[in-house]
Structure 1
Amino acid sequence: MSSDNSVRSCDARDGGGKTSLSVSKEIIPETSSPQTQAMQDGNNCDPRTEELDRIVHSDTFSKSPRLAALLKHICERTWAGHVDELSEQQIGIHFFHRPPGFNAGEDAIVRGSARHLRKRLDLYYGTEGKHNPGRILVPKGGYVARFEDATSTSEPNISERDTTESHPIQILQKAGKRFWLWTAIPLLAVAIVGFFLWQHNRQAQAERDYGSLLLWKTLFQGNRRTVIVAGDAALNLYTAYTHQPVPLLVYMEQRYQNDPAIQAISPEGPGLLSRVNAATMADLKLTSELVRIPYRLNLPTSDKDVEVRYARDVNQGDLQGANLILLGTSTFNPWSSIYDSNLDFHLDRGYEHYTFQVVNRAPRNGEAAIITKNDAQALTTVALTDTPSGNEHVLLLGGSTMGSVYAAEHFLFTQRMWQPILNAATINGKLHGFEVVLRSDFVKDEVSNTTVVAYHIH
């Protein structure tokens, strides 16, 4: 790539026309290695660089110039034979400008960006790049690029028969084969029936262990993304200290970050506490269970369809067209406030005395309008509702303490607790919205003796 920001061009057929393909420094800020530069300046076009040009100038990648830059960084070093520069540590230092010796276990920017890059490549090759003559891949487990020729090889041409099959010996051999074939058919049928019975029993056991199959089928669908959003523990501390909630719009714009009200509790400077990236162990444990559910229940959802996000890193575009699982109430995960108006049960927090109660906005026969707890108890709400479009579903898990997530997990994965409620919410084979209020004993950041206090079916 020349120093005057000009581009290398070569003729490539893409969609039937001749196109001048280029990679601009303004889009890809990384400099090319000498080996790659020499390859690009040659007289013949390299199909790998042609494919890279197509990708970075596609509509799919034009919206993510940073991912395009990362792909170019990986490709250049792979093709130049410098795979030793493609470890997580080296990419973090040379591409993301992290300091030498940075802790990749705590700073997952390389792994996270590579995961998004792979998803973006899948999207590209599933849409505008599906007819490209080549493919550039970054296989899981590493950061080395692989180029594949997409031209399929023709199947072997079978145009002649073996003329010896009419020989008497061949006739006897064929008769023997037919005998064994007809003998094997009943055995095969028995094996198939046995397999389906085993699969049914396995599925029933999995449902007892991992929760309602119908609920998870509703949330994990093969044709739609599922986004799991873990709560922001630092935000929860901020609201506890300042005695005021952070509305979603303020949270999205991060306007509360420099609030002088937290200067007194943050001796290193205002805003430090609210900028800490922190998640609770309860959220992490439940998230690890949730991402395994499609595999355990043999659902059609693939790895690329399930995304895990930290509340502070989410924007509204990430949630569009996706089923959602939101961990935490609005003081812990402001994204849950979007759906509060859909619900009958509202978890109300008293900041001054740090009290919690559930307000029942639509009491039914015998139900209390206010559901309370004592100091040794925790309240938890579990709700399934729809997005405003009505096409996606949202599972909301909230509670009076961070440990309330354990109560929600216990409810979701314990058949005797969820089955009566989900049976009532299932009408003509379709799962309708529901809400549940749980009360538990709270001991040392965990809960026990969880019971259902009230529930509504919508």
Structure 2
Amino acid sequence: MRVESPSPEEIQAQVHKVASSSGFVSSETVRSVFVYLTQQAVEHPGKTVKEYEIATQVLRRNSNFDSRLDSTVRAIASRLRSKLAEYYLHEGLHDPILIELPKGSYALSFSFRETVHAPAAVSAGQAESLEATQTTEQVRAQRSKWPSALLWVLTACLAVACVSEYVAMRRPPKAQVPAPIETFWGDFLRGGDPLMIFPNPTFRGLPETGMKLVEPDDSHADGTIDMLTGTGESMALVAITKRIEQMGHDVTPKRAHLFTWDDANHSNLIFLGGQVQNAAFALLPQLQRFSLKGANAEPFQGQGAVLDSKPASGGQQYYFASKDFNNGNDYAIVALTEGTTPEHRILILAGTNTYGSEGAADFLCNPDLLQGLLSSLGVGPGGRVPPFEALLLVPERGGAPISPRRVLVYKRQPEAANAASDHH
């Protein structure tokens, strides 16, 4: 068994390979932090890297940077972990050196990959785990023979599937959860386990030659791809799944293009992404107050927005997202509506871009933010959450959503009353 650690030269070569991969080249901020942490690990082994050092030396924050008020470094570290995991799932599948960023730390670890062989005698539980591992290795071996372009196309969806499978295999018993989480999610789950509709928008072209998003109302010519899922929606799926499974429930993920309303008659539904990302979103009943404006819809400003159809006197009607995804602001809608049957409900998390959807999931998984929402709706511990629509502001720093917050909350009216109001 190989026990020595990689040499500095081997580490530098592996870091250069990872940093030159597509996932890192497309995110200069994450790449810069990755290179900096590598330099610290090689030149100062065992040294603890502080958030302040990363913020001031890499991200060029002012000397008054306070990590208690600014979570940018933590958000970028989370993104770095995701990109490393994605790299080793695909491009780096057979790389001999593994680079990891342990949670709660800013110190990279470097190790040689080892092949683990099964002992002669194993328990029943070990045999089941070993069988799953062997199956995974067989899939990996087969997948390594596929054309590289196809691997690019399948990256996001495979990542979501693998994470979901891993969580299902390793699911712990129902854990104690904060009271706001118990109130909100416990109420939603009274109707049973949810079906999560995650987006797979349609693109034309290939990753190597350039890809263009196809609007939902455009005709689909030959050569389109509908197997991609945005990073934000993938992260949202994992976060929501984890929370629901903490409540002792299961989540069934389903691609938007495969969703039918026959699926809806027996499940609660969770929709991730807006109408551009999630084709099934267009099939939903129209929300009473908020809706998403596409980037190509009037009023045209080159980016998406949330429309408030019932603004307060003198209030804002359009909430436009920033053009800069790395250091701007996005907006998102979180809505809880009636389902297709009286016992079921529909939960919507839709951002004007992929990071907005992730921010909406972060909001619903944060007990402090949820408590603020429940208080605004007049819901006490264990109470029934009424149908509502909420507008969120989602700041983006370093290509990641941070600190989402409520802008407006609207209690939905009963459908019959709302229809009568619209008629008059």
Q: TM-score with structure 1 length normalisation?
A: 0.46
Higher relative contact order (CA 8 A, sep 6+): 2
Q: Which has the larger radius of gyration?
A: 1
Q: Please give the TM-score of this superposition, normalised by the length of structure 2.
A: 0.50
